[in-house]
Structure 1
Amino acid sequence: MMQTTRRSLLAAGGALLAAPAFAQANWPDKPIRFVVPFTPGGTTDILARVLAPRLTQGLGVSVVVENRGGAGGTVGHEVVVRAAPDGNTIMLGHIGTLGVNPSLYPRLSFDPIGGVAPVSMVALVPNILAVHPSVPARTLQELIALARAKPGELTYGSAGNGSAAHIAAAALGHAAGVEFTHVPYRGSGPMANDLIAGQINFTMTGGTVVMPLVRDGRLRALGVSSRARMQADPSIATIAEQGLPGFETTQWYCVVTTAGVPAPIIARLNAEVHRAMNDAEVRSRLAAEGAESAPGTPEELGRFMRAEVARWAEVIRITGMKAD
């Protein structure tokens, strides 16, 4: 009798140990939420909607983009941190949510870095400094001179506090020694609409958002924040070569999931992100906007995120940048 009981207990224990492995082997078995922590229309949303159908194809289940904007990306970020660690919730994070927000929002109710598991870098996107045609400046130096003559009167729009445009323009003002006024929006779409209408003076955000507007003449590009000029439009000078040497605020985008997701699932997600971002059509589309496909390993992304948190903590300390 005792032997039978012991065998039953051992069998039950083995079944419990085997259950997680079975779940991993059969993952994914239901649709995956792909959280975008901003409203539709911005670079994060655009990249997620390029990536989602290719992940759907590779994983064999629907990967559904879910926009959860608010509070500089922290609302959507928390959704992912609080999700079950089963790999069925992922997020397209970026320089703001994973590099800046840990310092810009020091009293978050969740751990923005420890609460997620890195999957893969996705892309690097240069910021374009673009003004409304009514702004009497055709070069960066002319814009800086205008800001010096009218401290605080030039307004720039962003997708919200902690967004890439907020970070980039604040860094530009600090580097140039001038004061700009930040106007945060609930997403890049509403911001771009107001910029086109002349309600704000400029923005400094991803090429995927502003380059179509520059090409059709609704905005004027004064500079690009990358280290080198964009192949997509080499006529746009870098900010560094216009009197601010060393200036660079390239946006970065990555896929993360909830902390505690098993390593085999992260490895599968990583492989599918690589496959998608190495697709010739995707790379061509990104290159047209000056962006670069940049998939990597989870370990590389983890190290990069920690370095970016340290970098931007110092920038926030020096500039006094706050969540307006």
Structure 2
Amino acid sequence: MSLRLLKAAAAALALCSALAPALAQAQTFERPVRIVVPFAPGGTSDILARLISPKLSEAIGQPVVVENKPGAAGNIGADAVAKARPDGHTLLLMDIGSLAVAPSLFPDLTYDVQKDLAPVGMVMFGPYVMAVHPSVPAKNVAELVAYAKANPGKLAVANSGVGALNHITAVALARGLGIDWKNVPYKGGSAASRAVVSGESTVIINGATATLPFVTNKQLVGIAVTGDARLPALPDVETFKEAKLPLADAGTWQGLLTTGKTPPEMVARLNAELQKILAMPDIQQKIAEQGGSVRPGTPDDVKSWLATNIESWGGIVRAADIKTN
């Protein structure tokens, strides 16, 4: 080997040696990690965060704390993560459908969904369950639509907050079916579910993870589910497709994100740990028991999903002329 090649190899080796500590530091967790859930405790995002946090803590050697910051259809919590230090120690776990509708629905949004947040990975897909309070005289879609048309304005549909994806879904359904029902916002899917159980509201369209237990316990009556197939826990409840309802593929897409401009090495480390957690049989079983399915993938998968759905759901918001006020 020539002297020139030897010098070049030595320089390359020295560069790698110099970069190695920096790369390792970019992937190291130096203090406790927060998972911000921008909804109240008990909803789908909160359930998932509390499943994942102990596993992530074990993997990174630091405490992982779940912090609920509800309000403004998830935007208060999302904004807090967008403005955090970009080092991967502040995470956001939420239904990213709410992020997809936010740019069209909130003209004064205080953060840029695609620039100020860095996707880590998708966590799960959970179909929506449409259910009613037992006082509503309906056991299926046809009976619910007939009742709604005969009693315009009487049904009150609980949602996770103005601009949440289940709110947009309810508005789009009403337009598509020619019915008139009220939309009532709550601070998260758990609060919305409890409101329908108590009779304060009468209808809910919400993630199966948070809503399914109320249906199986007969506190609510299941009407229909989104997704490709009926839920094993609700074999007699028809799908949106079977009932020829619009938005048959709507549901809760739960994703994990961190602050924009977080070093790519840290995002890659977070994604790697997330994939390991989602591959654990006990995690998969718990998610399946709640009516969901694990959706592993890359940060770019979430980035592409957001780009596509910001456009498609934005079209629905504009067509329905949905306003936050």
TM-score by length of 2: 0.90
- Equivalent residue number for residue 149 of structure 1: 150
Q: How far does residue 246 in structure 1 lie from its aligned partner after superposition?
A: 6.3
Contact 1:162 1:323 in 2 (8 A): yes
Relative to structure 1, the CA distance from residue 97 to residue 242 in structure 2 (aligned partners, 3 Å threshold; closer, same or farther) is: closer
Whole-angstrom distance in 1 between the partners of 2:153 and 2:265? 51
Shift of 1:188: 2.5
Q: Which amino acid aligns with 2:80?
A: V
Query: How many angstroms does 1:209 deviate by?
Result: 1.3
SS in 1 for 2:285: helix
Counterpart for residue 289 of structure 2: 288
Gaps of 5+ in 2: 1-17
How far apart in 1 are the matches of 2:194 and 2:232?
27
Aligned partner of 2:64 in structure 1 is 63
Distance 1:95 1:172 in 2: 20
CA contact (8 A) 2:97 2:309 kept: no
Whole-angstrom CA distance in 1 between matches of 2:236 and 2:62: 43
Is 1:87 aligned to residue 84 of structure 2?
no
Question: Take 1:300 and 1:313, find their aligned partners in 2: how far apart are those partners?
Answer: 19
Please give the per-residue CA displacement for 1:185-223, whole angstroms capped at 9, x wherever unaligned: 122333222211111111000111111111111100000
Conserved 8 A contact 1:124-1:253: yes
TM-score, normalised via structure 1 length: 0.90
Measured in 2, the distance between the counterparts of 1:162 and 1:55 equals: 30
C-alpha contact (below 8 Å) 1:127/1:168 kept by paired residues: no
Q: Figure out how many residues of one structure are paired with residues of the other and give that number.
A: 310
- 1:231-242 to 2 correspondence within 5 Å? 231-242=232-243
Q: Distance in 1 between matches of 2:189 and 2:233?
A: 21
SS of aligned partner of 2:114? coil
The percentage of counterpart residues that share the same residue type is 37
Deviation at 1:309, TM superposition (A): 0.4
Give the superposed CA RMSD.
2.0
Quote the residue 2:25 is aligned against.
Answer: 23
> Is this contact kept in 2: 1:96–1:162, CA < 8 A?
no
Question: Is 1:211 the counterpart of 2:212 in the alignment?
Answer: yes
1:305 and 2:309 equivalent? no
Deviates more, 1:309-318 or 1:172-181: 172-181
Residue number in structure 1 paired with 2:8: none
Aligned to 1:111: 112
Offset, 1:181: 0.7
Higher alpha-carbon deviation: 74-83 or 107-116: 107-116
Contact persistence 2:23–2:265 (CA under 8 A): no
- d(CA) in 1 for partners of 2:295, 2:67: 23
The amino acid that maps onto 1:193 is: R
CA contact (8 A) 1:121 1:294 kept: yes
Contact 1:80 1:91 in 2 (8 A): yes
Counterpart of 1:10?
A: none
Shift of 1:316: 0.5
Alignment gaps of 5+ in structure 1: 1-15
Structure 1 108/245 Cα, relative in aligned 2: closer, same or farther at 3 Å?
Answer: closer
